[in-house]
Amino acid sequence: GAVVSQHPSWVICKSGTSVKIECRSLDFQATTMFWYRQFPKQSLMLMATSNEGSKATYEQGVEKDKFLINHASLTLSTLTVTSAHPEDSSFYICSAPGTGGYENTEAFFGQGTRLTVV
């Protein structure tokens, strides 16, 4: 199946710094990429939807100036956590929709990035 590669798998940063997370579709083109956040023992929560060549759509309550999303090419979407604070520590996951047409609803997920802000 299709592969979505997410890097880094984990990162520790100091409070106030910015961190960039990359998500690449390795063998297919992803015009759309979804970004999720997952806190310990909780489910995945959609943060935003990135679309190649246009502005991202953010879910209610997600600060677009803090979580910068760029989808400059059909194989790369990035999420930058700006001025990170300890409360931003979480597991971030990207996902691309399936490519098999209407009946194929399998989505492809990255490996996730564990962000720890100290």
Site residues (CB under 8 A) for other proteins? 1, 4, 6, 32, 34, 36, 43-46, 49, 91, 93, 95, 97-98, 100-112, 114
Residue with Cβ nearer other proteins (22 or 97) = 97
Residue with Cβ nearer other proteins (11 or 82) = 11
Q: What values do phi and psi take at 9, rounded to 5?
A: -80, -25
Distance (Å, rounded) from C-alpha 78 to C-alpha 6?
9
48, two tokens: 């935003």
**CB 16, min distance to other proteins, A:** 25
For the four alpha carbons of 25, 30, 35 and 41, in that order, the dihedral sign comes to negative
**CB 93, min distance to other proteins, A:** 5
